[in-house]
Amino acid sequence: MSLTQSTYREAIRQALLDAMHADPSVILIGEEVGLYGGAYGVTKGLIDIFGANRVIDAPISEPAIVGAAVGAAMTGLRPVAELMYVDFIGMTMDQLANQAAKSRYMFGGQIGVPMVLRTQGGTGRSAAAQHSQSLEAWVMHTPGLRLIMPATVNDAYHLLRQSLTQPDPVVFIEHKGLYTLKGDLDPDTPDGAWGQPVTRRKGSDLVILSYSRMLHESLAAADRLAASGIEAEVIDLRCLNPLDEAPLIEAVKRTGRAMVVTEAVVTGSVASEIAARLTESCFDWLEEPILRVGGEDIPIPVSPALERGSIPSATLIHDTAQWLVTRKAPEWAA
């Protein structure tokens, strides 16, 4: 084991570096991924190591970037395409949803699209309504696409390495608020297997399911709940598709209470889908309905204060969990 301290950003860069050394078919393509080093510095210096034939600066055209990656994957390469912001994934939906996601099925398994689409989403930089969204539900809705959203440094490394071994296109969404997060990186030991959730905190009174940056807000809420005698289990979903539901069902049946926390708006969200699936499987074990905690159904404000208020906080998660267990309403709701 070679445990080191790393940031989330450096862990992703190290995953790309190691993957490109191990497999000459891995290439990078995106806006400013080469000379500039990527919008958030993740690919910094890689063009100096691997050259412009493998680290390709693309024109500012999201459809062209994803379309080129799809074509490259169909010729035998393993492209990693980068979109600066998930907000622009809608422009790529023909290439992504109609071509990448469908090709292996439509060609009878003769041609696949083993590509990774790296992008980032979420709030935290006052980047306003067109650069701060959480659009993972658009991806989860499309059959044929895999969806990964790492919350820890170690997962950022290993889930990206695992994504680069998959036969299907993987959408890998990083959170812009996590790039400076520090943590342990063990290149030899992943947090969990591909597709499996990981329990980050054990508890017996309720289970909180979350992913990406909201995992950390959920863990902070769980610490506060413990001070008042409520033990919350916190599960990191990590891989939204594929997702092994068996551990989630076991935890919900054991505790009888559950909530799903997301930064995305609740309407039509990943949280809604998971709450529905668990209700179908666990209805007879539930003491209360499964709650969804998510962002407000509004465009993300540019004001830092309003931006923070538009998404869940540790306080909101704590108060909602406390109500779920005790039926005691928080003071602000009285």
Catalytic positions, please? Answer: 131
Which of 205, 182, 192, 173 shows the shortest CA–CA distance to 83?
A: 173
Residues 217 and 317: beta-carbon distance below 8 Å: yes
Q: How far apart are CA 49 and CA 55, in angstroms?
A: 9
Residues 100 and 115: beta-carbon distance below 8 Å: yes
- Can you read off the two tokens belonging to residue 8? 């989330």
What does DSSP say about strands 182-185 and 4-7: parallel, antiparallel, or unpaired? antiparallel
**What is the distance in angstroms between the CA of the first residue and the CA of the last residue of the chain?**
52
- Can you read off the two tokens belonging to residue 263? 């930064």
- The gap from C-alpha 20 to its chain's centroid, in whole angstroms, comes to 22
